[in-house]
Amino acid sequence: MTTDTLSPTFAALADPTRRAILARLAGGEATVTELAKPFDMSMPAISKHLKVLERAGLITRGRDKQRRPCRIDAARLKDVSDWVEHYRKIWEERFDRLDDYLQDLQKEQKKHGKNGRDKRDKKGNQP
């Protein structure tokens, strides 16, 4: 797996301000001034966050010396996204089964009163 590249990405994403910056940039490029606006933060503080994001490969900065617009770099974010999505898939499947099973258990309890749990389903419980 892409362990070496994934770790700084996760570290960068662990901060809520940086996540909010990314969410803003997902809607299009922006300058530091524009990014600083919604946050109660100084420009140097925002610049610091941007540096972390840049080092993690999550954003790129434009060449224009005046504006240096920030832009999201989807490739790196996608690595994390793939990781999360894989986790999501496993747990969604697992929890969907649990959900179905809990419904079955409740139906069974209703049918058999509180002794429903003792009934064995010989056919197995293939959902």
Partner 1 sequence: MTTTSANKLEITLPSDREIQMERVFAAPRDLVWQAHTEAEKLAKWWGRGNKVDIERFEAERGGHWRFVEHHDGGSDGFEGRFREVTPTERLVQSFEWDGMPAHVCINTSIFEDLGDGRTRIVATSLFHTTEERDGMLESGMEGGLSESYAALDHLLASLTR
In contact, 22 and 57? CB cutoff 8 Å: no
Of these, 45, 68, 103, 119, which contacts partner 1 (CB under 8 A)? Answer: 103
Q: Which of 55, 62, 81, 107 binds partner 1 (CB under 8 A)?
A: 81
Q: Report the candidate in 65, 66, 71 with the shortest Cα–Cα distance to residue 50.
A: 71
Q: Applying CB under 8 A, does 113 fall inside the site for partner 1?
A: no
By CB under 8 A, residue 86 contacts partner 1: yes
**Contact between 64 and 70 (Cβ < 8 Å):** no
Q: Which of residues 33-72 bind partner 1 (CB under 8 A)?
A: none
Per CB under 8 A, 110 contacts partner 1: no
Ramachandran bin of 67, using left for φ above 0, alpha for ψ from -120 to 50, beta for the remaining angles: alpha
Please check whether residue 56 is in contact with residue 8, taking contact to mean a CB–CB distance below 8 angstroms: yes
Name the residues that contact partner 1, by CB under 8 A.
Answer: 1-3, 6-7, 10-11, 13-14, 19-20, 22-23, 26, 74, 77-78, 80-103, 105-106, 125, 127
